[in-house]
Amino acid sequence: MDFSLSQDDCRFRDEVREFLRAELPAELRERHRQGFHIRDDDHRRWTQILGRKGWVAPEWPREHGGLGLTPIQRYLFDEEFGAADAPTILSFGRNLAGPLIYTFGTPEQRARFLPPILAGAEFWCQGFSEPNAGSDLASLQTRAEPHGDAYVLNGGKIWTTEAHHADFMFCLARTSAEEKRQNGLSFLLVDMKSPGITVRPIWSIDGEHHLNEVFFDDVVVPADRRVGEEGQAWSYAKFVLTNERTSAAGLDRMKAGLRRARRLLVRLAPGLDPTAVTQFRRRLAQLEVDTIALEWAVLRVLTADAREMAGASALKLRGSALAQRVAELVVDLLGPEALPQFSDEGYPHNADHNYGFADPDAPGAMTTHLYRRALTIAGGAYEVQRGIVAKQMFGL
């Protein structure tokens, strides 16, 4: 593997760096730096700024509106975003719906759906999980019954991130009952404004609303919104999940957390017990080393000829566990300072308020730590990913 940078790569990296320096709104950078989730209006604004530059999904092939970045350039692009504390683009359109549509969709679907993703004009959510179908996704029950030139959708999804802001959902539904549960599933592109859709919030432990339940009650989906062959969606779903897990490594958030931990350790060390300082230093050093190892693993998977599910699962496992350890270190360093001050306004989910944090690195530390607990499950539970790695990588 040759990961050395060409002149083109260096030029591209400098261009991204300069663009972010000039175009990233300061208040957005600050919210992201503190680890708070970006509000929907801010996310749309930022995506549209990137869209004007053609940088919402620059790694997409040129024929589908991307820049056809090499894996190294894609890595540099994400790396510069991390270094500048720039919010990353939500992955549902960029990494999941877009590649699904340009790989398996019709020319009409590509023409209809890809340009608004690239312009930051339409946002997507992922309709896979159901109350009784998460790890065991093939047991999903949402039904799409053919009626003339449409499907009628009934059932429900759960844990649907950003469904309350999404314009469309790529939805896995059962179009026929087959003996093998993986058969009979189809992919539908569902307009979230369709009559019969109800979205209910699920508030998460960080006090924010990202997650939802979505109910379908006789929702009509035109047949030309089905992606690929009817009943064949299982293989397309595996493609989507592999993309999701590859992008779940989240190096940018790791590095931002490490920067915060380093700042805290330097500032707080003089007032701490020397034994505690040594232990914190060890933890930080180990996390730095593990992050470098993860970085190389990401590059290896990105430059491999074919994305493999097991490689993506390994990245998901390592990336999520590391992100949790980094957030935990930050909270341990802060001690009681990490605790938000509760007030009549409720839980401090909003960086517009200071909530009495004394340390400049405290806002957002606890909410980040709490939300990262969800990574044990989100994007595929740890035990299940370990099973995939054991089976596919080691033949166990």
Question: Cβ closer to ligand FAD: 269 or 374?
Answer: 374
> What region, left, alpha or beta, does residue 250 occupy, with left being phi > 0 and alpha being psi -120 to 50 degrees?
left
Span near ligand FAD by CB under 6 A; candidates 128-136, 142-150, 306-314, 338-346 = 128-136
Strand partners, 153: 144, 219
Determine, following the binding rule CB under 6 A, whether residue 291 of this chain makes contact with ligand FAD: no
Q: Which residue in 47, 91, 95, 126 binds ligand FAD (CB under 6 A)?
A: 126
Minimum gap (Å) between residue 258 Cβ and ligand FAD: 22
Phi, psi dihedral angles at 15 (to 5 degrees): -65, -45
Element (H, E) at 191: strand 185-191
Local structure of residue 305 (DSSP, 8 states): S
x-or-dash pattern for ligand FAD, window 137-176, by CB under 6 A?
Answer: ----------------------xxx---------------
CB of 73 vs ligand FAD, minimal distance in Å:
28
Q: State which H helix or E strand residue 292 sits in.
A: helix 274-303
Question: Is residue 377 near ligand FAD by the rule CB under 6 A?
Answer: yes
- 30, 244, 295, 383: which is the annotated catalytic residue? 244
For ligand FAD, give the closer residue by CB, 263 or 325. 325
Residue number of the CB atom closest to ligand FAD: 134
Query: Where does residue 160 rank: exposed (0-12), middle (13-18), buried (19+ CB within 10 A)?
Result: buried
- Sign, CA dihedral 337-339-342-346, equals positive
C-beta separation of 199 from 164 below 8 A? yes
Using only C-alpha atoms, what is the Rg of the chain? 22
User: Considering only residues 128, 151, 168, 280, which one is a binding residue for ligand FAD as defined by CB under 6 A?
Assistant: 128
Clarify whether 244 is annotated catalytic: yes
Nearest CB to ligand FAD, comparing residues 237 and 334: 237
> Which of these segments, 1-9, 67-75, 121-129, 182-190, binds ligand FAD (CB under 6 A)?
121-129
H or E element, residue 222: strand 209-222
- Which residues in this chain contact ligand FAD in the complex, by CB under 6 A? 125-129, 134-135, 159-161, 211, 374, 377-378, 380-384, 387
